[in-house]
Chains A and B, each alone.
Chain A
């Protein structure tokens, strides 16, 4: 099986703060990969490095066979990488319809009509401005916007954050559907159990390092580790060597 994305030995900094210490991971094509870890472990920074928003100072990122390590975000997106950031970042002063017209997508199956069929609530509110939407509707809009890039890889950063349980179910159902559509997914979530339920593969991050990787079912079966995840430290994961690609 080929990889949609491979990252090897990423070192990322915010100013002088060293955040990622050699993160290596891969996302297999057509699979859902989840990246787990406690708050401050470096999950969002990893995603920002992968999509070019916070470029890694060291390491290498290969996306669909191209070395995208130094690429600007809009070029990486043009390869078919959709990114749904934490906090949605929709355009509050644009209407739903205008938000959906912003992506400069590749040719593909996803159109605004198909988005409205998938998210009927957005169709009902297409003339409303982004700031007038509920949290759940904003999340739908953020996912919809990313889908209009006709992505081959969808990267989601905490899509269930701050949503009602019913809406969380809907979001995870959509994530599962993406796999059926042939879209690879990299999912960062605090909701460990639900992430592991939909994911094929999991990586656990702590203090800017991958401390565990393997099949999601294997991690889901290890109740102690699942419990530990909310407050995991690197020491808790010792003895489980990360199975990741070598740097370079």
Chain B
């Protein structure tokens, strides 16, 4: 290409354009094309997964299996994260608010932070690390050991059997996890406030309930449903696209977790803007 540009410019014979700038442009172009290709593939994969959710046959057993893996087995890690987050929030906000003599706002700050933001985001990130990686590894292993081919030859559409039930499980299980996490997070804050910071228990609970609105909880649950879908989608997509044996499966696992984490944060901003921007 470099020679072609040189020739087209009618430059002297033998004169070449400098390498570094063209290489940088070429690398940038390749990167943009790769990003467009990956976005297009992911979008088509997501649309295909959703369309398979709407058409029979439905694999209830596979959904139940994915739901248990997504929800039940993630409960301990989400619960611990929520409790400690609530405790830290209570401690941090009490010292911060004391500077403005506004300690009484602490219960509402804790509950709003957890229900609107920290509950769904932290649960999403924890589950992305745990379940998203496991999904990518499982489906990736099936891909590189030809088990997905075997599924197809058994008249079973892998998108319907492997992907669609996981997408649904992700979108259903994460909101339930977040709901539990919200309650435990508030309890964590309550524990620190009443035991260490000398808050009256009844006042704390009244302040928590009085300032909490339905939209705070609902927005968090909607975020969780979207994050759950994203985690399952990227786990399935990277697993399904993996190539090259064990090394390919490892790369797919890493990509699934990294991409899901970044998308969770990006969608968190978008959804917050959608729900709360004035």
Contact = CB atoms under 8 A, between A and B. Distances in A.
Contacts of A85: 146, 149-150, 153
Contact of B156 (A82, A83, A87, A104): A104
B244 interface: no
B202 interface: no
Interface in A72-96: 72-74, 77-78, 81-83, 85, 87, 89-91
Interface in B152-180: 152-157, 161
Of B149, B155, B161, most buried by chain A (CB within 10 Å of CB) is B155
Contacts of A52: 152
Nearest to A105: B155
Given A53-B152, A104-B57, A74 B157 contact: yes
Interface string A23-54: 00000000000000000000000000001110
Interface residues of B, number: 14
Nearest to B57: A104
Contacts of B145: 89
A145 interface: yes
A153 interface: no
B155 A149 contact: yes
A73 B152 contact: yes
A74 B154 CA distance: 7
B147 interface: yes
A14 to B, nearest CB: 13
Nearest to B156: A104
Contacts of B151: 74, 102
A214 interface: no
Contact of B147 (A74, A91, A104, A106): A91
A104 B57 CA distance: 9
B127 to A, nearest CB: 21
Nearest to B158: A74
Nearest to A88: B150
Given A74-B157, A104-B57, A89 B152 contact: no
Given A77-B153, A78-B155, A91-B150, 9 more contacts: A53-B153, A73-B152, A74-B157, A85-B149, A85-B150, A85-B153, A89-B146, A91-B147, A102-B161
